[in-house]
Each structure stands twice: as C-alpha cells, then as structure tokens.
Amino acid sequence: MDISPETILSFFCLTLASLAMIPSSKSGGDDDDELVGRCARGDQEAFNQLVIKYQKKVFNVAYRFVGDQEEANDLAQEIFTAAYQNLNKFRGDSKFSTWLFQIATNRGKNRFKYLKRRGFFVNRSSQNQDEDGEGYQKVVPDLTTNPENILSSRQIQKVVQDAIEELEPDHKEIVILRDIEGFSYEEIARMLDLPEGTTKSRLHRARMVIKEKLKKVLS
C-alpha cells in the first residue's frame, strides 16, 4: 500500500499531540487564581504547586523548541524563574496558563535563535547520525504499514521532530501551541499578541512547510 506524504500529514495534524516526548493533557486553571493570589502574598509553596501543575507542559514546549532534553530542562527552569520574578506583572486579564505559556514561547524562541547561531542543531544532527551509524534517510519507516502505526513509530517521531526543529521560530511556536499543546486559536492569538486570522494563516503555512519536508523524506 502506497502511503502519500499528504496522508501522513493529515494524520500528523490530527495526532501530533500523542507524539510529544512527555504526554501533555490540558490542565485546568480553576484553582490558579487562588494559587497566584497566595504567591502575590509571598507564599512560596503556592508557586511550587503551580510548577508541579505545569512542569510537564512547560518542559514539553521547551523540548519542542530545542529538541534536546538537557537544554529543555534548563529552558524550563528559566521559564519558571521568569514567571516567578514577573508575577507582579500578571494582572489577571487572561488565564495564568495563557500568561505562563506566553513566557514559555518567548523564551523558547530566544533560546532556539541563540542555539542556532552557535551551530547547536547542526552539531547535534551530525553527532546523532554518527551515534546511530546511519544517515538521515535511514530513518524512513516502512510505508507499507498502517499510517497510524507509522505515526506511532520512533522513526516517524524523529522525522516529525526534525521537521519541527527546522521551522522558522514564528512557525514553530504556532505548531507547538496548536498541534502539540492543543491551545485554541483565541488563546494562541492572545499569547502571541496576533490577530486570530494571522494565527490561522501561520499555522497553515507551517503545516505546508512540514508537508514539503515529509515529502522529501517519505517519498
């Protein structure tokens, strides 16, 4: 059975969240206001509870920006530190989670640009290739299998992660927030301070870029 890149992309857009390194479920913010209020009054334990609540999702966003566990750990710590230091700037105009992930995407973009300037991704790609003992094309999965099985394989996860890593930062953040973390267009527009229409158009362009990269690898 011949599976086209378009079919792969279709499943990719529907199920990308299941490919995250750490599974991420949408956390409710019902008790965030109380915890934030306690933080404002100097309650360190309240902030610790917010960290526990959002640490997996923040790490997941960080990892998708930098593609490396150690860098993602450092970035996640930086994000929570920035949130704590700037908590007095949170006015409650949006949900705490929206504000937190606005910080996460801004810090993620900055760290990505910094690492890219230093050649981190080129060096890491070469190192991974040497360790695997095989070239990039060798990660192509068997396309005679079911598309769902393709998407659940470690091979296609690497292809997808590599495609996300190569996106421009403005496209990368949209894919991470929408297709991986499952935020609504309205939430993303607020996080990124963009019109909702611009958010949708950027996501469309990002998906098309990923589609072209998948075509090259999977054809």
Q: Is the pLDDT of residue 89 over 80?
A: yes
pLDDT digits (tens, 9 = 90+) for 95-120: 899 999 999 999 999 999 898 888 88
pTM score: 0.70
The H-or-E segment that residue 189 falls in is helix 185-192
Amino acid, res. 163:
A
String of DSSP letters for 14-72: HHGGGGSSS---PPP-TTHHHHHHHHHTT-HHHHHHHHHHHHHHHHHHHHHHH--HHHH
pLDDT digits (tens, 9 = 90+) for 154-208: 666 677 777 887 888 889 999 989 888 888 999 899 889 899 999 999 999 998 8
Residue 16: the pLDDT is 47
Neighbours of 20 (CB within 10 A): 21
- Are the C-beta atoms of residues 65 and 108 closer than 8 Å to each other? yes
Residue located via tokens 């300037």 = 117
Question: In angstroms, rounded to a whole number, what is the distance separating the alpha carbons of residues 64 and 50?
Answer: 21
Q: What is the set of domains in the chain, with CATH numbers?
A: 5-218 (1.10.1740.10)
Q: What percent of the chain has pLDDT over 70?
A: 69
Residue 148: the pLDDT is 54
pLDDT digits (tens, 9 = 90+) for 57-70: 999 999 989 888 99
Question: In angstroms, rounded to a whole number, what is the distance separating the alpha carbons of residues 76 and 105?
Answer: 11
* Nearest Cα to Cα of residue 6 among 182, 148, 210: 210
Q: Which of 36-45, 112-121, 129-138, 166-175 has the lowest mean pLDDT?
A: 129-138
